[in-house]
Structure 1
Amino acid sequence: FAIQYPDFVSSLIIVNAFPYLEPEDRKKRLEVYDLLSLHDNGKTWADTLLKAMGVANNEVIVRGFYQSLQFINPVHIQRLFAELVDYDQRPFLSNISCSALIIRGENDDFVPEKYVREFERRLKNTTFIEFKNSGHLPYLEQ
């Protein structure tokens, strides 16, 4: 949106996102989402994802995540994230001119720091903040 409609965007907030994935990390990410194919109502997927996101010890997030499992469509989630990991945003980032706040939780292993930092390298006007004692969901954890 910020690329196509720059006049409507005055600033961005980017939280634990990745503009691309290297092949090995792409493979690992898809393996996590393949766990949705198991017939355990998403439990293995949820356990794996919560641990990777660095939030497995946050009781409120874990409880909410497990409650949401009854409402998700596993096939849709797999398809959506397969598209996401294949999308390389890097060629477009230099066209974004607004300021960007880039936020990362230090305990997030689901999105390694090098990918979050890629936004910092490619965008023009950035501020990077890393939350200590936080994982993939710093806006819920802090």
Structure 2
Amino acid sequence: MMKFNKLTIITLVLLLTSLSSIAGNVVVVNAGNSSKVSISDIKKLYLGKKGAFSNGNRAELTTLIAGSNIRESFNSEVLNKSEPQYAAYWAKMAFTGRAVPPVEYNNSEQVKAFVGSTPNAIGIIDDSLVDSTVKVVLNF
């Protein structure tokens, strides 16, 4: 029988607790979308620098409302922007008419429902909601 000291047990408990509390977030497209979608494509789409998928179909962007942890993680980890930077960026893009910002939804369930029913949609959701209606193109 193995003996564990208190420090080892505490470390294991903390590790298991921290791993279980990490929520996975993903970028998804409609399951029928056959386009190749790279992280570079995602950045360009979500910054209004590109409007279509590799197959030429116009992308319908969705995101979550400001204040969502998933949106904040996406903006920070994928777009390298804070929420205020992201909001200011899109305010400028929309004001100058250069691009239309992503449609905002209140929760991941709404984003998944839209993406799953819209052939050219892309969105960010909690990975626990992934099903056969959407396809994961990025984990973040």
Answer yes or no: same fold by TM over 0.5.
Answer: no
Q: TM-score, normalised by structure 1?
A: 0.25
Larger Rg: 2
Q: TM-score, normalised by structure 2?
A: 0.25
